[in-house]
Structure 1
Amino acid sequence: MSASSLSNRLVMDPTSTERIAEQSRKDPKAAMKAVAGQFEALLLNQLVAAMRENPLGGDDDSAEMDTFRNMYDQQVVQGLVERGGMGLADMLSQQLLRAANLSDGQQELPPASLQLPPVAAARVQQAYGQAPQLAAGQASGATAAADSLPADRQGFVSALLPHAQRAADKLGVAPEVLVAHAALESGWGQRMLRQADGQNSFNLFGIKAGGSWQGGTVAALTTEYEGSKPRKQVENFRAYSSYAQAFDDYAQLIGNSSRYRQALNQGSDFGAYATALQRGGYATDPAYASKLQAVARHVAAL
């Protein structure tokens, strides 16, 4: 079922939230767009209802006529949504996609602020467990720049090497392999997981937030493999206050888990470290070890 067909069901079908929940497991992006369409339809409904508050007067003011008008208004709203509405759904879907780290980064968000109607906010809270942060540009450009890593690879390595050295000493491995692991998981710092308000999660290693994690979290779309078949799903990941904390938590995870015992004290043997991580279940990608080893060699050559 398409996102547009889901959003168009809002006016006549109050169970569409359940359909969107089902859709979110198959296609999170389409589900987000459907939610945005629902919000716009809710707002249009409120606007039309406000225009109907004043009675027309006359013999045609009756319960039957009110029912007819309500049905007619619903069809008008649905028609407006199908023809693109007021543009609110497009703007809102971009905000939701960015908040859930599902955006492809190609769309620019408008610089305006958006306040959802209370009913719409309640729908989001019911469906997703939290109300979305919808004020565009909440995180200033200065804040984003302050916590961003250098765009060039040499700068990325130089910025993280001091943190990597401290963690590498605990694990008995070369710091280059830890920087390489951060580069592989974060796209050389260009795909950092961010909170709904734009704040950096500082999660360099793609470490998920399991039941024992007591810190902050950030939801994001990730690729998991079942055998050799990839599939997309939304997961909760750990959020930190700094890159230093991310490296410290990584060192604790690798150093204290029996799953990764074979990864310890491998020195500069990038292949042995990468293979031990994959065998321990760090990632489901069948080519993960070879990818990490290749990036580690690249880092060492810089």
Structure 2
Amino acid sequence: MLKSMRDANPGDGGLLDSDQTRFYREMFDQQLALNMAQQGKLGLSDAIVRQLSGHPADSPIPPTSPAMMGDPLATLSQVQRIRSSIRMPSPAPLPKPTPFVAPAHAANQSYPIDDAPFEPSSPVAFVRRMWSHAQDAARQLGVAPEVLIAQAAHETGWGKSVPRFADGRTSHNLFGIKAHRGWQGDRVVNSTFEFVNGVAVRQQDGFRAYRSYRESFNDYVNFLQVNPRYQEALTRVDDGAAYLKALQQAGYATDPKYAWKILGLMNGPSFDKALATLKSASAGPIE
């Protein structure tokens, strides 16, 4: 090792370099190598241990534990004894997972559902959406479907003012039928105008809620047929104007101009345009 170090840095060319210098340097290296062979170390490790442990330079090095210097199994046993003497903190128990519980109303309460969501953009769109339902209801009552379309358009502002739930879901109620006693279905509370002594008064009231617009038309038919006070109106179905006036006189609405407003809508340009577009369309009404 010393010879390799000398060869790596020969130091030739110095002022003190000569054959005699190199001779004595080789003798020194040989003596140093002999001492290293006898002791097996340079002594640097002892000096480092003394400095790090705070012992004087000429004091002996404290002996190392025999168990740690000898057999590896003894070393392992010593480590295990040290580890067992140290009290490790117990791991915190994992929290129990909270099972998912569905809201109670999800299984026990039904809500209006419409398989074809509809947001009316115009009278034409409203008529196309409701026409087939109006035809079915009109056949059961014997009245013209245009009369039912006009009444539904008046009650809802062409579908834009259908009573809604607080979360925005529609009730599909097209004819303003209220959820009075005896009604077993869903209901929604909305603001409405009622006429008292000829004056419109805003108030909150409950309205029936349906699962579809078809259900709304079907319930309208049933509502008229099972209530005795509307029997007179059902005898006037051949004349749309007479039918609407009979409904008003029977108390269907509190507005004294209820029938007149619906007839005005039927004779207006928006209604005529919507019907003309429907009849000229090659495709059938949207279901």
Contact 2:186-2:209 at 8 Å conserved across structures:
yes
Deviation for aligned residue 1:270:
2.2
Report Cα offsets for 1:233-290 as digits up to 9, x if no partner: 1000000000000000001111222211122254452210110110110110111110
For 2:153 and 2:251, the matched residues in 1 are separated by 19
* Alignment partners' CA distance in 2, 1:258 and 1:216: 24
Residue correspondence of structure 1 range 71-86 to structure 2 within 5 A:
none
SS at match of 1:244: helix
The separation in 2 between residues aligned to 1:296 and 1:227, in whole angstroms, is: 27
Distance change in 2, residues 1:145/1:297 (3 Å) = farther
Question: Is the CA contact 2:154–2:262 (under 8 Å) kept in the aligned structure 1?
Answer: yes
The residue aligned with 1:198 is 168
Amino acid at match of 1:239: A
Q: What are the Cα deviations for residues 54-102 of structure 1, in whole angstroms up to 9, with x where unaligned?
A: xxxxxxxxxxxxxxxxxxxxxxxxxxxxxxxxxxxxxxxxxxxxxxxxx
Unaligned runs of 5+ in 1: 1-142
Q: 1:215-294 counterparts in 2 under 5 A?
A: 215-267=185-237, 269-294=239-264
| TM-score, with structure 1 as normaliser | 0.50
Q: How far off is 1:144 after superposition?
A: 10
4+ runs of 1 displaced by more than 4 Å?
A: 143-146
Contact 1:220–1:236 (CA under 8 A) maintained in structure 2: yes
TM normalised by structure 2 equals 0.52
Tell me the amino acid that sits aligned with residue 158 of structure 2.
W
Take 2:122 and 2:170, find their aligned partners in 1: how far apart are those partners?
19
Q: Which residue of 2 aligns with 1:56?
A: none
Q: Any idea what SS the aligned residue of 2:203 has? A: strand
Q: d(CA) in 2 for partners of 1:266 and 1:159?
A: 27
Q: Percent identity?
A: 45
Structure 2 alignment gaps of length 5 or more: 1-112, 276-287
Q: Deviations over 1:157-187 (max 9, x none)?
A: 1210100111111111000100111100010
Q: Which residue of 2 aligns with 1:153?
A: 123
Structure 1, residues 119-171: CA drift from partner, whole Å, max 9, x if none? xxxxxxxxxxxxxxxxxxxxxxxx99952243111221121010011111111
Greater share of residues in helix: 1
Select which of 138, 145, 151 maps to 1:168: 138
Counterpart AA for 1:243:
Y
Determine helix, strand or coil for the equivalent of 1:240: coil
Q: Look up the match of 1:188.
A: 158
| Inter-partner Cα distance in structure 1 for 2:229 and 2:132 | 26
SS in structure 2 opposite 1:191?
coil
Structure 2 contact 142–238 (Cα < 8 Å) conserved: no
Q: Separation in 2 of the partners of 1:145 and 1:256?
A: 29
Distance change in 2, residues 1:152/1:288 (3 Å)? same
1:235 aligned counterpart, secondary structure:
strand
